[in-house]
Amino acid sequence: MDVIVDIAQGRLRGQRGAVTSFLGIPYAEAPFGALRFTAPTAPPRWEGVRDALTLGATAPKIGYRPPTSEILSEPVVAGDECLNVNVWTPDVESSGLPVFVWIHGGAFVNGSNAVPIYDGAAFARDGVVAVTVNYRLGADGFARIEGAPANRGLLDQVAALEWVRDNIAAFGGDPAKVTVAGESAGAMSVGTLLSMPRAEGLFHRAILQSGAGNHVITEATAGKVATALADALGVSATVEGLGSVPIENFVDAQRELGDRVTAEAPTGAWGELAFNMMPFEPYIDGDVVPDVPISRISAGAGSEVDILIGTTSEEFAFFLVPAGVAGYVDEARVRLVLGAYGVDVEAAVDAYRAQLPDATPGELLIALMTDWFFRIPALRIVESRASRAFVYEFTWRSSLFDGKLGACHALEIPFVFDVLDKPETARITGPNPPGKLAEEMHRAWVDFVRDGSPGWVQYGSERSVMMFGEQSGVADDPRPSTRGVWAGVR
């Protein structure tokens, strides 16, 4: 059944079923033509009733390659109006409902709000207005381009949050009860938003899944990447130069540059990118991103925002197991990586070996890279704050790759959204994932969005962490010896 609401832009037609959905709503003008590489504009207006019955356009992106493309769904929806949101609501006649705003992951070069497992219906079913956001990716969103505002992808996210503030009441939501959430690059975005003056007051709680406040690059590195991209295309690294390149060629060049960075990173040619491995990500520009987000957060930015933050147990298995890399790692490689990270190599090897006495070198590498990239940055956000913070770890292991994929990166998402019935879920979980765990996690997220407490104690002096798995429960200070490896380093 159709349902119509009035928002600031005009009248909007959605579809009512068990919950009511409005899809593909533009929160800014299409960022192409004269608006290419500009800050997001004011939302477009229309006469009459606009249909919001189908998913909106997705932003240009490089796409996943096998084996990642076999694990993650990456739909492409044609069109220019890629700066759009989807909204699911229990009832447009409601008022004062809490709001959950989801920022997707994808290493800042992939992803969209059209991914099937980001369906917000279960949140709406449980009394929450859910919003999923698209933003510009890759060089369109994050390259340092002469004549263009910095970090346009983050400005898009701010514009989407402003749209929520101004319009969510029409869908039954309360603009004073907004939780912003994300996973991977989406969580890194949330960590950055926590630190950004432009985002202040636009959200009141935050959920960070497998991402925190460490992953930005310097302006110099961003400039080097943009110059390399422009040189490969035979144009200048300016709005005029890069804007003259057809979108398809522009995306192809970004993919090729990403491959080049990956291949050359071990030589030191790309500096800090040898660690982050994301050539297009937020950079410190002194304005939109004033400083490294964790530094700003430690100094008090976002201190009024309650936080739910966590990781999966074997995040980096996602990147090393499907590609077959984990099986070729030896002890020398483990020591080389630890040395590059700047820790006491012998002490670190001893700590990880004591924690995982039967692990292969590849499994040790997964553990330490999981900690450097995800677990320790998450804990640093919690440790830097006086306001309420809750920590979780997802321990349930996928059955794929003979079980070696483990509790990998992105595995918890379908549990959080309670969408285990979707066929795309089995591509990462394997068959028959436990419905009880999805019920537990989804309920915790709903409770946090609604009340600010997911149902377990704050992190605090006991370092309490909810371990979500076959038998979920709170553990105090899990794996303290490997946590200590990174003291003063990460």
Q: Say which of 21, 73, 112, 184 is annotated catalytic.
A: 184
CB 181 within 8 A of CB 190: yes
d(CA 340, CA 6): 55
DSSP state for residue 398 in the 8-state scheme: B
Residue 279 burial (10 A CB sphere; 0-12, 13-18, 19+): buried
Residue 164 to residue 132: CA distance in whole angstroms: 11
The dihedrals phi and psi of 146, each to the nearest 5 degrees, come to -60, 130
Which of helix, strand or coil describes residue 218? Answer: coil
34's enclosing H/E stretch is none
Six-digit token string for 188: 């890194």
The Cα angle at residue 153 between residues 150 and 156, in degrees rounded to 5: 105
CB-side neighbour CA atoms (13 Å) of 163 = 29
- Reply yes or no on whether 94 is catalytic: no
Q: Which of 29, 315, 363, 393 is catalytic?
A: 315
Question: Helices 345-355 and 331-341: crossing angle, nearest 10°?
Answer: 120
SS3 3: strand
Contact 411, 428 (CB under 8 A): yes
The Cα 67–Cα 312 span in angstroms is 20
Structure tokens at 413: 């998402």
Residue that has been written with the tokens 């079980």 in this structure: 403
Query: Of the residues 73, 409, 412, 442, which is catalytic?
Result: 409
What does each C-alpha distance from 480 to 192, 351, 352, 376, 483 come to in angstroms? Answer: 27, 9, 11, 11, 5
Collapsing DSSP to helix, strand or coil, 327 comes out as helix
SS3 (DSSP) at 356? coil
29 is a catalytic site residue: no
Q: Are 305 and 195 in contact (CB under 8 A)?
A: no
* Known active-site residue 70: no
Positions marked catalytic? 184, 315, 409
